[in-house]
């Protein structure tokens, strides 16, 4: 990657990023090879495919993929490409299917990725092996608390080690309900003439909030939300392995904020901790934003 993308002169107190870092296709190409080709990337949540045959098709780090729960109830991740000539075998974003069929030559694969149908199979030689031509899977697939990740590097560290301090924040998200969490169906899609870094930059940029979102903050003020403490007691936390969170106290809250305050103030379990939660609310819980993993759709 060109050194001119970033100027980091700490002695002079100068840090600048060239705008080409957000738009240059060569920069994104290098990032996909050197970063996203080696690290663990979030694909989806197990609740998105609750039934046998349920699937979601997503592009992750430039690679088309299918997350599917097989007829044996096992969740698997496949490259969305026919092992014959490379066409997409799944052209819908989500649904339920017993099989995936390539539109080019009608090769058919079941929900376990096995090749189960080849027109004119009898014309192939004895060397033809359907077992060797099942849908391909990435080098590593693993999950933590229902969050499913993929890694294209077979030599990479385990998901557990890679997440490092981010595991605590995923625990806070997963432990908000005693019956487990569920990803609500539906999405809002939009595009930008930039690569993934612009979305990430905007997500943790609090500098723009008051100038750009005046109507929202005006609404909060009108309904009686105390705004004087907004932005106080904030900090960035290094979670290791490139993960980080921003924590700050705000006049509103959500369960993860209460959970964070409870865990750090009292060390009580999140489940059934009604009294510590009320105490944390009175003390002012801190809101933690977790933006350490690229999200599905973050990549062009």
The set of residues, in sequence order, having a beta carbon less than 8 Å from that of 51 and lying 6+ positions away, is 69, 96
- Do the bridges between strand 63-69 and strand 140-144 make them parallel or antiparallel, or are there none, so unpaired? unpaired
Residue 84 tokens, joined:
């014959």
12 contact partners, CB below 8 Å, separation of at least 6: none
Instruction: DSSP for 18-44, please give it.
Output: -THHHH-HHHHHHHHHHTTTTS-EEEE
Q: Return the percentage of the chain with pLDDT > 90, whole number.
A: 62
Of 38-47, 219-228, 248-257, the one with minimum mean pLDDT is 248-257
Give the global pTM. Answer: 0.80
Share of the chain above pLDDT 70, in %: 82
| pLDDT > 70? residue 294 | no
Q: Which of 53-62, 66-75, 104-113, 171-180 has the lowest mean pLDDT?
A: 171-180
State the pLDDT at residue 84.
Answer: 97
Tokens of 207: 């500098």
The 3-class SS string of 65-100 reads EEEEECCCCCEEEEECCCCCCCCCCCCCCEEECCEE
Domain ranges of the chain: 3-34, 42-140, 165-300
H or E, element range at 9: strand 6-9
pLDDT of 276 > 50? The answer is no
Q: In a 3-state reduction of DSSP, which class is residue 146?
A: coil
- Tell me: pLDDT of 98 over 50: yes
| Integer CA distances (angstroms), 9 to 2, 4, 16, 119, 281, in order | 16, 12, 9, 63, 42
Question: What average pLDDT does range 137-154 have in this prediction?
Answer: 97
Which has the minimum average pLDDT: 78-82, 123-127, 171-175, 272-276? 272-276
Rounded mean pLDDT, 88-112: 98
Class of domain 42-140: mainly beta
Q: Give CA angle at 7 (6, 10), nearest 5°.
A: 130
DSSP 8-state code for residue 264: H
Direct distance between the N- and C-terminal alpha carbons of the chain, in angstroms, rounded to an integer? 19
Q: Is residue 182 pLDDT above 70, yes or no?
A: yes
- In what helix (H) or strand (E) does residue 151 lie, and over which residues does it extend? strand 147-151
pLDDT-derived band of residue 50, with 50, 70 and 90 as boundaries? very high
pLDDT band at 284 (very low <50, low <70, confident <90, very high): very low
pLDDT level of residue 155 (50, 70, 90 thresholds): very high
- Segment among 106-110, 138-142, 161-165, 267-271 with least mean pLDDT: 267-271
- Do residues 43 and 67 make contact, with C-beta atoms less than 8 angstroms apart? yes
Mean pLDDT, the chain, rounded, equals: 84
Among 128-137, 183-192, 271-280, the range with the most confident prediction by mean pLDDT is 128-137
What's the rounded Cα separation, in Å, for the pair 155 and 162?
12
| pLDDT surpasses 90 at 205 | no
Residue 60 in 3-state DSSP? strand
Rounded to an integer, what distance in angstroms lies between the CA atom of residue 81 and that of residue 118? 15
Q: Picking from 40-49, 65-74, 152-161, 170-179, which range would have the lowest pLDDT averaged per residue?
A: 170-179
Lowest mean pLDDT among 13-17, 43-47, 171-175: 171-175
pLDDT bucket at 178, cuts 50 / 70 / 90: confident
* Residue that the structure tokens 């290791």 belong to: 240
- Is residue 256 very low, low, confident or very high in pLDDT (cuts 50, 70, 90)? low
Tell me what pLDDT residue 167 has. 96
Flag the least confident range among 54-68, 110-124, 209-223. 209-223
Cα within 13 Å of Cα(112), Cβ side = 8
Average pLDDT over residues 230-250: 83
């Amino acid at each position: 990657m060109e050194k001119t993308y970033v100027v980091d002169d700490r002695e002079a107190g100068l840090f600048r990023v060239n705008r080409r870092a957000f738009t240059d296709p060569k920069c994104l190409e290098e990032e996909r090879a050197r970063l996203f080709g080696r690290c663990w990337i979030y694909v989806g949540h197990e609740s998105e495919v609750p039934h046998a045959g349920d699937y979601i098709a997503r592009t992750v780090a430039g690679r088309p993929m299918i997350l599917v729960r097989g007829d044996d109830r096992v969740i698997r991740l496949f490259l969305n490409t026919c092992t014959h000539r490379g066409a997409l075998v799944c052209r819908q974003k989500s649904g339920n299917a017993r099989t995936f069929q390539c539109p080019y030559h009608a090769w058919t694969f079941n929900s376990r990725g096995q090749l189960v149908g080849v027109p004119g199979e009898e014309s192939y030689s004895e060397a033809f092996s359907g077992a060797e031509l099942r849908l391909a899977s990435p080098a590593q697939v693993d999950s933590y608390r229902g969050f499913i990740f993929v890694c294209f590097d077979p030599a990479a560290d385990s998901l557990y080690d890679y997440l490092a301090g981010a595991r605590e924040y995923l625990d806070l998200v997963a432990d908000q309900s005693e019956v487990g969490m569920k990803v609500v169906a539906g999405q809002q899609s939009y595009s930008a003439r930039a690569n993934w870094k612009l979305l990430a930059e905007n997500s943790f940029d609090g500098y723009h909030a008051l100038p750009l979102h005046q109507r929202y903050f005006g609404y909060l003020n009108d309904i009686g939300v105390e705004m004087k403490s907004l932005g106080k007691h904030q900090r960035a936390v290094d979670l290791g392995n490139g993960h980080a969170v921003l924590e700050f106290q705000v006049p509103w809250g959500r369960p993860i904020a209460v959970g964070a305050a409870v865990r750090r103030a009292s060390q009580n379990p999140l489940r059934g901790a009604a009294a510590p939660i009320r105490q944390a609310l009175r003390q002012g819980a801190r809101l933690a934003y977790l933006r350490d993993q690229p999200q599905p759709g973050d990549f062009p």
